[in-house]
Structure 1
Amino acid sequence: MKSLRKRLPVLFTVMLLPVLLFSAITLWVTARDMRERVLEANRSALSYYVQELDTTLSLLEDYLLNFAVNDNSVSKLHSADTNARAIAKAEVFERLRFEYEIYGADCIFFYCPSTDCYITVYSSALNYQDARELREMVTGGYEDYLTDHRWKAGRLAGDAYLYQIVETAVNGPLVYGALIDIAAVQERLSASPETAIYMTGPDGQALVGAGTLREEGIALDPGRDGYTDGRRNWMVIQESSPNGFILWETFPQGPFLGSGSTFPLLLGLSAIMLLVLAGAILLIRRWVLRPLSGLEKGIRELSAGNLNYQISPYGVPEEYARVNSAFNQMTGQIRDLKIQVYEEKLRQQQAELNFLYMQMRPHFFLNALTTIVNFGKLKQYENMYQFIGYLGRYIRYSLRRHASNVPLREEVAHIENYLDMVGLQSPGSVMLMADIQEEAQGCRVLPFSVYTFVENSVKHALSPGRMMSVFLSARVEGGTLAVTVEDDGAGFTEEALAKFRDPAWIESPDGQHIGIRNIIRSLSLMYGEEASVTLSNAVPSGARVELRLPAEREPAGSEYQEEGKP
């Protein structure tokens, strides 16, 4: 008996037997007042339903009154101008169409007797025939149906409704009203198939569901409350509303609500609890002993050095789930200690990337500011405004470096924006010819990785009186993105090419070609050996740069559009 697996079932059995006896005594004592408790709970719910309906009716009434008195379009329904009246009618209809369901109405109408203008909106609770009958009733003699700012439950236009019809003369004679389908209200408030809600007027005559009441032999008596009626001993309670209607609830009596003895129920409950005892022993094995075995196995695996072993925190009691989660966190923390050196290296690489980026940009912004000043001195204000717009997009793109890689299409758009700036400084001096494969446009690249080589070509190949060409192409070859930049200038010197191929120059630059060096270094930090940059001279002349990067597609929904670009 030292094992917990044997002690727990015995302990549970000893504890359950007194609980069984106590439950039987408690049930016997509480059965006497259960009837009033259930009735009180149902009365509270019914009272809440009435308050909810009263609030809805009050809001709807205030809405209608405010609409009728303060809306300019409603006042124009009295206009003698046919066109003005037609426009006002359309405006009132559109507003009602969008707002009537918000206030819980199934139908709202406005009628101007002086111009015979009738407007109505209604839900599917009214069919076309009912709506037509309502119009004929209102336009043919509404005086008999006025409710004097009160709500009435009754039959109107063929069906049972809770309705209000009011006449006002603030801006001229106007009749307005609203209908709420009683059948829909009763269906919404009925909590279960066995429980039924009925709405009646002060006389207690059911307008919807009268046939069901007759079948069950239930009479709704406004003079009584909390009584039993019908062939199946239904409980009947009521709650009156100051708006002139009564809500009734009927529900069957359960074992505790009847006046008979509860002894058969006690016997049944005792038998059930004995069966529960047998099931509880099985549950102990599943909820206590089996998770305990899993925890023991995890400890053995951890002792053996298996740091990847995890205990599932699901499908076990909350206490075991917390213990299992703590175990998993502990093993995870141990694993984390092993990769801290690697993470520190990544942080150092990111810091170096940011430093490399900051080295690449200052000279450009200084030159751009000088260009703006020169445009101003020459009074070329249109060019100055365009240049400032291009510069704004340039800066906006520059600030996105912290967003990691960007789609190639955005890098190309940035290149085009830069060449537009060059075109303002030297009109007709640069022509870009781009051939970008559709699949390659969505591949992600390091910001400024392609731009830097285009800028380098413009810087070294552009000469006065001669148009230079820049050729840009991109293809996806297997899992690799191949980007090529060429120009028709003089190309690289042999000394420069030898320097570019020397790994020592990448690690210890000599102060020249900082942009190229920084891009090569950045790509190395970002992709490692998966990225390569090849610099050579094109045939017959010009510089050629080929970048080969992993073809990483942009995630769905990440497209970015430059300001001012289509």
Structure 2
Amino acid sequence: MDFGDLYIVSLIPENQFMMDINKYIPFVILILILALCLMSLVGYVINQWVILPLNRLNSAINALKSGDLDTKIQADGVCEEYEGVNNAFNEMVHEIKSLKIDVYEEKIVRQRIHTQYLKLQITPHFLINCLSMVYQLAEINRTDLVQLMLKNLSNYLRYTISSGQTVTLEQELTHIDNYIALSKIRYPDSISFHSEISPETLQAKVIPLLLQSFVENTIKYEVVLGKVIEIHINTSMIQKENNAFISITIWDTGCGFDKELLDRLQNIDQYLHEESTKHIGISNVLQRAYLQFDPENCDFHFSNRPEGGARIDIVLPFIPCVIKEETF
């Protein structure tokens, strides 16, 4: 004690001590049970209001990354903060989908405009030459040739105007036969046309006027009266990295590409970005092919043959295109 060197000691019997503790055991157990219940309740609340919404958001993000633009997150049944996030995500997905559709439709419109532009460029040029030839034949009373030329010209214009974004290779080859027939009337005994066509390539999808643009260049720059120019078209199927492609080769026995043009054609990307070129047909074919098949899926190679003459090698993906036959 404070006022002296004295101590008080209390001696409690052991059995009495254990009796006092046993009185508090039920309270301790009850507290533990309540604590476990509270922890379970907190875990359930965290799972329902935090973890599950986060998992749903993560799953929706992964679905969006994989290209699923129809994915949505349920906005109701969650806390106010997550409801705002979910609504914002759904609106973002809707805007992305609308934007993608708009871009796709814009690409289609651009393709149609580009094709129409090509037709406006090519048709008047050839039409004027043909009408001039019809006039000259009428002057010398060659009504048989006038009738034949007008018939072939009608078929030519029908194909040029009515063809869509794509045609079959068979239709394009039929058009080439008709075009060669027209040209032979203009240049009698000056054109020899040969073709070796693999039957399995005939139903391949190609762009209209793909071959005619190159054949027209040969006739325009190489064919003269009194000299026979051969034009050859060969097609075959090839395999590249387990994918089917068609190979088309066009060559002639003329003088070939001049060195300046051939050098420019070796760099097609730069050639397509040139502001002006007199070979507008080649440029249009390249651009339309890239729009239709994508640059990585098609290949154009220009060269001069050692024996003389120009050569164009074209590789396009083989996409069957079954189109109802029409009479051109």
Give the TM-score of the pair, scaled to structure 2.
0.68
SS in structure 2 of the partner of residue 414 of structure 1: helix
Conserved 8 A contact 1:461-1:487:
no
> Of 198, 205, 208, which aligns to 1:447?
208
Compared CA separation, residues 500 and 303, structure 1 to 2 (3 A): closer
SS in structure 2 of the partner of residue 483 of structure 1: strand
Conserved 8 A contact 2:189-2:226:
no
> Of 289, 305, 318, which aligns to 1:523?
289
SS in structure 2 of the partner of residue 477 of structure 1: strand
SS in structure 1 of the partner of residue 146 of structure 2: helix
Distance in 1, matches of 2:300 and 2:278, equals 18
Conserved 8 A contact 1:485-1:546:
yes
CA offset digits 1:405-446 (Å, max 9, x no partner)? 111111111111111111122222111110000101111110
1:360 maps to: 122
User: What letter corresponds to residue 190 of structure 2 in structure 1?
Assistant: S
Compared CA separation, residues 334 and 514, structure 1 to 2 (3 A): closer
Conserved 8 A contact 2:253-2:308:
yes
- Alignment gaps of 5+ in structure 1: 1-296, 312-328
Distance in 2, matches of 1:356 and 1:562, equals 23
Distance in 2, matches of 1:397 and 1:353, equals 13
Distance in 2, matches of 1:540 and 1:304, equals 63
Compared CA separation, residues 388 and 397, structure 1 to 2 (3 A): same
> Of 367, 378, 394, which aligns to 2:156?
394
> Of 314, 318, 324, which aligns to 1:547?
314
CA offset digits 1:19-48 (Å, max 9, x no partner)? xxxxxxxxxxxxxxxxxxxxxxxxxxxxxx
User: What letter corresponds to residue 409 of structure 1 in structure 2?
Assistant: E
SS in structure 2 of the partner of residue 470 of structure 1: strand
What's the Cα RMSD here? 2.7
Conserved 8 A contact 1:497-1:536:
yes
Identity of aligned residues (%): 22
Higher relative contact order (CA 8 A, sep 6+): 2
Compared CA separation, residues 509 and 547, structure 1 to 2 (3 A): farther
Alignment of 1:372-387 (within 5 A): 372-387=134-149
Query: Shift of the alpha carbon at 1:376?
Result: 1.1
Alignment of 1:28-47 (within 5 A): none
1:323 maps to: none
Give the TM-score of the pair, scaled to structure 1.
0.41
1:498 maps to: 263
Query: Shift of the alpha carbon at 1:333?
Result: 3.6
CA offset digits 1:367-404 (Å, max 9, x no partner)? 11111111111111110001000001001101223x22
Are residues 1:532 and 2:299 paired? Answer: yes
> Of 221, 226, 237, which aligns to 1:476?
237
SS in structure 2 of the partner of residue 418 of structure 1: helix
1:207 maps to: none
> Of 393, 409, 427, which aligns to 2:170?
409
Query: Shift of the alpha carbon at 1:331?
Result: 9.0
2:184 maps to: 423
Distance in 1, matches of 2:324 and 2:306, equals 37
Conserved 8 A contact 1:482-1:547:
yes
Distance in 2, matches of 1:370 and 1:516, equals 25
- Return the index of the structure with the highest Cα Rg: 1
User: What letter corresponds to residue 278 of structure 2 in structure 1?
Assistant: Q
Compared CA separation, residues 534 and 357, structure 1 to 2 (3 A): farther
1:464 maps to: 225
Distance in 1, matches of 2:114 and 2:318, equals 24
Query: Shift of the alpha carbon at 1:338?
Result: 4.3
Query: Shift of the alpha carbon at 1:511?
Result: 3.3
SS in structure 2 of the partner of residue 450 of structure 1: helix
Compared CA separation, residues 345 and 485, structure 1 to 2 (3 A): same
SS in structure 1 of the partner of residue 210 of structure 2: coil
Distance in 1, matches of 2:111 and 2:169, equals 23
Conserved 8 A contact 2:195-2:232:
yes
Query: Which sits farther off after the overlay, 481-490 or 461-470?
Result: 461-470
Compared CA separation, residues 302 and 335, structure 1 to 2 (3 A): farther
CA offset digits 1:152-178 (Å, max 9, x no partner)? xxxxxxxxxxxxxxxxxxxxxxxxxxx
User: What letter corresponds to residue 535 of structure 1 in structure 2?
Assistant: F
CA offset digits 1:320-372 (Å, max 9, x no partner)? xxxxxxxxx98974442341563265133443343234223221111111111
Distance in 1, matches of 2:210 and 2:60, equals 45
User: What letter corresponds to residue 520 of structure 1 in structure 2?
Assistant: L
User: What letter corresponds to residue 546 of structure 1 in structure 2?
Assistant: D
SS in structure 1 of the partner of residue 294 of structure 2: helix
User: What letter corresponds to residue 266 of structure 2 in structure 1?
Assistant: R
1:485 maps to: 250
SS in structure 2 of the partner of residue 497 of structure 1: helix
